[in-house]
Amino acid sequence: MTATLSWLRWDGEDLMVTLKVQPRASRERWMGIREGILQVALTAPPVEGAANEALPRFLAKELNVATGRIRIVQGERSRNKVVRIVRPDRAVVRAWAERVDPPNH
């Protein structure tokens, strides 16, 4: 993982991730990076906070952290979001980042 991924940055021990959510997708998956933002498809609809609840669950599985350690800190009512993940394992983050944003994409 390079240190200059525009969609990912460290804030002390916490990880900050910039995402764009596509709700009501047929399956949950990473859709790559566009304009410096990690694109994610979620099956949940964008009503009554369903997609905002689904996003931490999806990230928690991917990064092996508890959902309580993941907070949407910006974009609660937008498809564009910034998420804080409290103290994830850096090796797990590195492997995940390389999977969703391969170095030679």
Summarize pLDDT for 40-95 with one digit per residue, the tens: 999 999 898 999 999 999 999 999 999 999 999 999 999 999 999 999 999 999 99
Q: Residue 102: name the closest of 41, 30, 40, 35 by CA.
A: 30
Number of domains in the chain: 1
- 3 within some domain: no
Tell me: the pLDDT tens digits for 18-29? 999 999 999 999
The backbone torsions φ and ψ at residue 79, rounded to the nearest 5 degrees and listed phi first, read: -75, -25
pLDDT at 104 over 90: no
Q: Is 6 helix (H, G, I), strand (E, B) or coil?
A: coil
pLDDT at 4 over 70: no
- 105 within some domain: no
pTM for the whole structure: 0.90
CATH code, domain carrying 77: 3.30.1200.10
- 15 within some domain: yes
Residue range of the domain that includes 77: 8-100
